[in-house]
Structure 1
Amino acid sequence: MTTHKTWFITGAGRGFGRHWALAALERGDRVCLTARNSGALTEVVEQFPHSALALELDVTDREGVFEAVRQAHNHFGRLDVIVNNAGFGQMGAIEEVGIDSIRANFETNVFGTLSVIQAALPYLREQGSGHIVNVSSVAGVIAVPTAGIYEGAKFAVEGISEALAAEVAAFGIDVSIVEPSGYATDFLTPDSIGQAPTMPVYDQLREELASSLTPDALGDPTASAGAILALVDAEQPPLRLMLGNLLPVVKDVYAERIRTWEAWNHIALAAHAHPTTTPQQD
């Protein structure tokens, strides 16, 4: 029998965050939903007035993050599942994206995630349990041209999460990274993805990427909710959970990396060799 849990979810106004919040509430869990526009959460709170708490939150406001986590803990008395879902994409070749856009993407996807983690950890450590779920992406596993800034942010989330898992395991806290493939969410709309001014020299790469993203390749986000519930209910949740048919392409990418490392291993070993010393003569 599943014990009811208390969730704190960022970016719950739409997309994955909203679907996962509704799935948790429908099974009797309690959820603090946060979004930059709390009006997007009104309908959920009206539907679940006793188990849903809505807070307006921009995760780039570090003080606001700590206050929201404190309010959620005070309201419910505990926090069991922390879901870092707030984020947005950024398209553009590395040369095309302006530094302000780069900083904005990292502020939300990386530093916002870090603020939520740091705000929640004292409560989770004190109660000796909890599960931090950081939403990454296939873009945090493999990189394609013209999405490097977003991919860089998600690669950062992966590294932070992997280290965090080792740091907090002794406190009874689990950490999982969720790596979704392409889904038909609002993420692909202009409100959720930045577009840098384009340079014609990169147009062919853009066209090749666009041709690989057919509509039928996008998953139904409502189908992901069951996977997230299974993840947080698992006695030993995995560090990484891919959503969608990503395994074949990821296996190919990692196989190629291993082939390259092996081919260049003699150079790698030579680069780490200790210098030989000539025995001293008596």
Structure 2
Amino acid sequence: MKLMRVGQPGHEKPALLDKDGKIRDLSAHVAEIGGAAISPEGLAKIAALDPASLPELSADERIGACVAGTGKFICIGLNYSDHAAESGMAVPPEPVIFMKATSAICGPNDDVLIPRGSEKTDWEVELGVVIGKTAKYVSEAEAMDYVAGYCVSHDVSERAFQTERAGQWTKGKSCDTFGPIGPWLVTKDEIADPQDLNMWLKVNGETMQNGTSATMVYGIAHLVSYLSQFMSLHPGDVISTGTPPGVGMGMKPQRFLKAGDVVELGIEGLGTQKQTFKADR
């Protein structure tokens, strides 16, 4: 299934995209796309519904973030061997973990705000993993049982804030609107192999990233298990699993985003995003 949330910020309705591309209203059946609704039992109940029996919503509605109630937005750094190489860094011996503030989350086509003082706002297409049930101390063999599905995640980054200011990466990752997710939460049964998905990103129509999740160093099952050793993962938590090469920081000369730039990105089977970047006043 392709689950989504549509409507203005704070007033999104839970919905699904049917096989004909029509948006169907789920609000009579679930309160939100999140929590119990994305547990294995909740997803089974949604799957049992006849999409044709659900009210159709306008295709012109704003698309919100694909999951609600995200308590943790966890990111994995340097998790693609080819991206680590372009960054001039070694592949880490264990996953590099950092957090992105949940206040950064926005819809997949919302405007992205370049923060005050920014000179190095960058792009990163990433495969997002949405947790469906609480995971604590889970093994790698059972880790996928805790995954509800996948989404496109744009890990927008301010590189000067991230690497040139004292402290950790979080301050360069957490600016308002720096976390577009969606358009859909695609349930895992629809994706045959999440470790073999094409990923791409364009800036003003020019292809910058053209990679594949096959070059991910630490795969999804490993990441879910690994993270669950340090913290409980809860329904609606999002793991953004790293980016392939082609980010602005890795270019020679480096390239960064400015007001008016349009970024488009997508992942095979998970949909696309499109954002206009604007100065945050």
TM normalised by structure 1 equals 0.22
The structure with higher relative contact order (CA 8 Å, sep 6+) is 2
Give me the TM-score of the superposition, normalised by structure 2.
Answer: 0.22
Identify, as 1 or 2, the structure richer in helix: 1
Work out which of the two has the higher radius of gyration on C-alpha atoms and give 1 or 2: 1
